[in-house]
Structure 1
Amino acid sequence: MRKSGGLALVRRIGRRVEALARRARRSPRVAFLALLLMSLVFTLGSLALPGFVPASLLVVPLLLGGLLLRFRQLVALSVLTLIFGVYVVVLRSPVLPRTGFVLVLALVAWIVLTSAKVRNRLGVPGTRGESMLMELRDTLTAQGELPTLPPGWRVESAIQSAGGSTFSGDFVVSTVHDDVLEVALVDVSGKGIDAGTRALLLSGAFGGLLGVVPEEEFLSSANRYLRRQDWDDDFATVVHVVIDLRTGEFDVRTAGHPPAIQFDAWSGRWQTRDADGPLLGLVESPEFEVNRGQLKQGDALFLYSDGMVETPRQDIGRGTDRLAGHAERLVAQGFKGAAQELVASAGGPGDDSAIVIIHRQAHA
């Protein structure tokens, strides 16, 4: 009974601490008063019970303040904490090295203030800036979710960011309307988190264009939008495919992007679907060629970014052959799970990698 009562007490304390933490995040003023009180308690405790309350605990309010407070409040807390620290070492000079302790406390305050100053530019205190980045990442991921296709069709995608970052300059947008599937794989200049913010902006815009503008005008409309952003030398490459899910007929258009490749189930051969077009954002009124084909039962169409096929030591042509060789081994399993497997095996570690596989199954 005593054990269960002790656990209940710990849980109640934990819930109250969590409630206080949530309230502190919502109200920086409450957090400031609580941390100031904490500094005062540590100061008095260090003077009254030096053997049990070390003066180094004054670092704790500074670190918590860097996570919870606004910049001006953090400055005030840092100044007051330094004053408390000086007061402690003056009264405990035989025990504490004065200069060393104050310098360490000042160094911690400077590090915390420097980090908070960067976050202050966003106008959000503490960890809310990181929370916003996580929400933006989740939004980009959600916008890349592929639609559910009718029986006999399967589509899957996989994206791998350079350097293990959760942000990527590659993204996918898609839609289904009137038994027509539209998919666009976009590669924004740059990689990792540097390109992630631009990718987020473009994913919303390009996703809004799909199914709204005529299929043949999608790349031109996307180019006009990108030109209006005035991003200096930044650009984007796109491969855009439109598939009639009733007949399997498709159109492929590219804007400076590696060509799509088609697997022919009847012959077992791989065919490159070239469609020349300039990079998006660099030309005022570009023209985009179209490559038409048909997916028969068992056929598959692969869209991929240059991170899947291009390396410093080989050109895109050889990289495409290498990708087809990797994919050849997955024919027997009907390309199920092939997107993730190909990104892991063929994707370049130094660049963002993405692939979309559209498969018309042999048996619906």
Structure 2
Amino acid sequence: MAVNESFVSQRPAIATGTIRRARMLMPWMSRSPWVLVIALILAGLAAGWAIATWPEHMPWGIFSFLVVVAGLFLEPRHLVVVYITLFTTLAVVGAALGDRKGATFGTEVVTLAIMLLMIWLAHARAQVGVVGVSGESMLVDMRDRLRAQGELPELPPDWSAEMALESAYGDGFAGDFVVAGRSTDGRMLEIALVDVSGKGRQAGTRSLLLSGALGGLLGEMSENGFLHAANNHLLRLRWAEGFATAVHVAIDLGTGDFSIGYAGHPAAAQFAAGSGRWRMLSGGRGPLLGVIESAEFPRETGTIRRGDALVLYSDGVIEARDKALIDGIDRMLGRAESFVTKGFEGLAQRLCDHALAGHGDDRAVVTIWRR
């Protein structure tokens, strides 16, 4: 089975690595913050001595560097102690040097402004119970858990599946997510593609909470009861912006028979090897999740035969503000048509990359095919 997943670009991935490395230092720093305080104070004093000794060779920017380092790893009360020492050292050394490359008034103002900015940032983090970069590491953990919950299970040799997820404007979080699982006997495959209201990081936390709940429902509810249970869960949460759309498919991996249901979601597309054509299934849409109590969600049945494929997708793939819905569907099926002769591997990512909404909306595609 091939799984193709793209959540973040290379640049955010590099930032993620930096955050993870910093996160490894956080437990030690949280236990011994005064060790870092003393180290930064000594570094500031050493910088002041070096500047006073070699004024032509040592840059004043070293104080700005120490200010930023302290702001990244210390809580406000420790930060103030370090900043008082650093600014006092800066002012004293600058006054002592005078005309010999002393610190200018502008340098002192800029350094003070950076200090105030970092104190404000540290205070904001402290209000939510995090210190330093631990807040960013928590978000990275949340995103990674959301990604892990959407991993597609291993399938029999004659089945394959791919998933592609792209967030709006390359954000690390997306309002679209996938949950999938197989029954204990391995015969049934269930996949739900969900689109939470909002996009990108705005919907990221809601996606994480909802994906955990819906992932637990897979396999525990009958295929006809999954969307009903998901709807009841969202109603209980009472989110002000808590609606979502979803498509849920249950496939018998032995026979290829499937049942698919929709909650405010566009209809899936199926390729039939017998006719060599793609077609949109007759279902689709239905009531949104989390809006109507005791809602009924339409389902339809079909069969994936050898050579057939099924495509699930979110509305960002086919919808755009300035285009008709039929244009988006035609565009998607046209892209899918080019994969008929060379197999379906890579189709999910291709449809995400050429979505009608472009990079302005979250996009998700799941392709399932039988050899």
* TM-score in same-fold range (> 0.5): yes
Of 54, 62, 65, which residue of structure 2 is paired with 1:49?
A: 54
Of 14, 19, 27, which residue of structure 1 is paired with 2:32?
A: 27
CA distance, structure 2, for counterparts of residue 75 and residue 283 of structure 1? 52
Of 313, 319, 325, which residue of structure 2 is paired with 1:304?
A: 313
CA distance, structure 2, for counterparts of residue 289 and residue 310 of structure 1? 22
Matched, 1:291 2:292: no
CA distance, structure 2, for counterparts of residue 29 and residue 123 of structure 1? 19
TM-score, with structure 1 as normaliser: 0.89
Match of 1:69 in 2: 74
Alignment of 1:37-186 (within 5 A): 37-95=42-100, 96=102, 98-177=104-183, 178=185, 179-186=187-194
Matched, 1:187 2:195: yes
1:37-70 deviations in Å (ceiling 9; x for gaps) = 1112112333343334344422222111012111
Match of 1:331 in 2: 340
**Secondary structure of the structure 2 residue equivalent to 1:292:** strand
Are the aligned partners of 1:326 and 1:346 in contact in 2 as well (CA < 8 Å)? Answer: no
CA distance, structure 2, for counterparts of residue 56 and residue 243 of structure 1? 62
Match of 1:3 in 2: none
Match of 1:219 in 2: 227
Are the aligned partners of 1:55 and 1:88 in contact in 2 as well (CA < 8 Å)? Answer: no
Q: In the TM superposition, what is the alpha-carbon distance from 1:169 to its structure 2 partner? A: 0.8
Q: In the TM superposition, what is the alpha-carbon distance from 1:150 to its structure 2 partner? A: 1.1
Residues 314 and 300 (structure 1), Cα distance of their counterparts in 2 relative to 1, 3 Å cut: same
* Worse overlay, 40-49 or 203-212: 40-49
The aligned amino acid for 1:85 is L
CA distance, structure 2, for counterparts of residue 337 and residue 126 of structure 1? 40
* Worse overlay, 196-205 or 315-324: 315-324
CA distance, structure 1, for counterparts of residue 218 and residue 132 of structure 2? 38
CA distance, structure 2, for counterparts of residue 265 and residue 288 of structure 1? 29
CA RMSD of aligned residues (A): 2.0
**Secondary structure of the structure 2 residue equivalent to 1:313:** coil
CA distance, structure 2, for counterparts of residue 21 and residue 52 of structure 1? 32
Q: In the TM superposition, what is the alpha-carbon distance from 1:81 to its structure 2 partner? A: 1.6
CA distance, structure 2, for counterparts of residue 68 and residue 111 of structure 1? 14
Q: In the TM superposition, what is the alpha-carbon distance from 1:98 to its structure 2 partner? A: 4.8
CA distance, structure 1, for counterparts of residue 250 and residue 120 of structure 2? 50
CA distance, structure 2, for counterparts of residue 275 and residue 242 of structure 1? 15
Q: In the TM superposition, what is the alpha-carbon distance from 1:73 to its structure 2 partner? A: 1.1
The aligned amino acid for 1:346 is A
Alignment of 1:342-353 (within 5 A): 342-346=351-355, 348-353=358-363
Are the aligned partners of 2:176 and 2:362 in contact in 1 as well (CA < 8 Å)? Answer: yes
Q: In the TM superposition, what is the alpha-carbon distance from 1:71 to its structure 2 partner? A: 2.1
Are the aligned partners of 1:258 and 1:316 in contact in 2 as well (CA < 8 Å)? Answer: no
CA distance, structure 1, for counterparts of residue 343 and residue 174 of structure 2? 28
CA distance, structure 1, for counterparts of residue 78 and residue 236 of structure 2? 40
Residues 175 and 164 (structure 1), Cα distance of their counterparts in 2 relative to 1, 3 Å cut: same
Match of 1:356 in 2: 366
Q: In the TM superposition, what is the alpha-carbon distance from 1:25 to its structure 2 partner? A: 6.7
The aligned amino acid for 1:87 is V
Q: In the TM superposition, what is the alpha-carbon distance from 1:111 to its structure 2 partner? A: 2.2
CA distance, structure 1, for counterparts of residue 31 and residue 223 of structure 2? 46
CA distance, structure 2, for counterparts of residue 21 and residue 228 of structure 1? 39
CA distance, structure 1, for counterparts of residue 29 and residue 52 of structure 2? 28
The aligned amino acid for 2:367 is I
**Secondary structure of the structure 2 residue equivalent to 1:346:** coil
The aligned amino acid for 1:71 is P
**Secondary structure of the structure 2 residue equivalent to 1:75:** helix
**Secondary structure of the structure 2 residue equivalent to 1:216:** coil
**Secondary structure of the structure 2 residue equivalent to 1:350:** coil
CA distance, structure 2, for counterparts of residue 159 and residue 283 of structure 1? 28
Identity of aligned residues (%): 45
* Higher-Rg member (1/2): 1
The aligned amino acid for 2:56 is G
CA distance, structure 1, for counterparts of residue 67 and residue 103 of structure 2? 20
Are the aligned partners of 2:75 and 2:123 in contact in 1 as well (CA < 8 Å)? Answer: no
Alignment of 1:211-250 (within 5 A): 211-250=219-258
1:154-211 deviations in Å (ceiling 9; x for gaps) = 1111011110112111111011113011000001111111111111111111111100
Count residues with an aligned counterpart.
Answer: 343
CA distance, structure 2, for counterparts of residue 49 and residue 24 of structure 1? 32
1:270-301 deviations in Å (ceiling 9; x for gaps) = 22221442111111221111111111111111
1:310-364 deviations in Å (ceiling 9; x for gaps) = 0112233331222111101101122012111221123522101110011011xxx
